[in-house]
Amino acid sequence: MNKLFLYGTSGSGKSRCIYEIVRERIADFKNIFIINPRHTVGAKESGRIKLTELFSRFSNEDAVIWDNFPDDIINTDLDSARSVLEELSEKGNAKCLLVALKPKYLEIYREIANKIFELSVHEITYNNDNFKNIIRSYGDSIEQ
């Protein structure tokens, strides 16, 4: 899975999934591009450029992360967002593409990546029983 689109409710673990994938594969990447960093206010230089210019900078040795998609797109209507996502997945030459949908757009954009064949689409879900089992499993595996 080199091109991944994640969606799910707030707090479901989309960003954590991206973090874990990058952490495991960080040695595989020459550069890691992060689209839409959350805190650019007060920075001397945010590094913001047009997306089309950014897409042309990716090499087949790079990773691209876009958490909270479609933040930072001027037109966030469904067609415009799909077009950006298609261009990113088709023309972006990156080795690894990791996109997580911002939960605010979950209902409207849930199906946005389904017809973009380059992307592997996954819903991240959780429930209380899963958390209980994880905690119980963790507790059973550590020395008391």
pLDDT tens, residue by residue, 24-44: 999 999 999 988 765 555 555
Share above pLDDT 70 across residues of the chain, in percent, rounded to a whole number: 90
Segment 40-54 mean pLDDT = 67
- Predicted pLDDT of residue 1: 60
Quick one: tokens of 31?
A: 């550069």
Q: How confident is the model at residue 134 (pLDDT cuts 50, 70, 90)?
A: confident
CATH architecture of the domain with residue range 3-141: 3-Layer(aba) Sandwich (3.40)
pLDDT tens for 77-118 read: 999 999 999 998 887 788 999 999 999 999 999 899 998 988
Kindly indicate the confidence band of residue 126, based on its pLDDT and cuts at 50, 70 and 90: confident
Q: DSSP states of 76-125 as a string?
A: -SHHHHHHHHHHHHHH---SEEEEEE-GGGHHHHTTTTTT-TTPEEEE--
Question: Could you tell me the residue ranges of all domains in the chain?
Answer: 3-141
Contacts of 106 (CB under 8 A, 6+ apart): 7, 8, 9
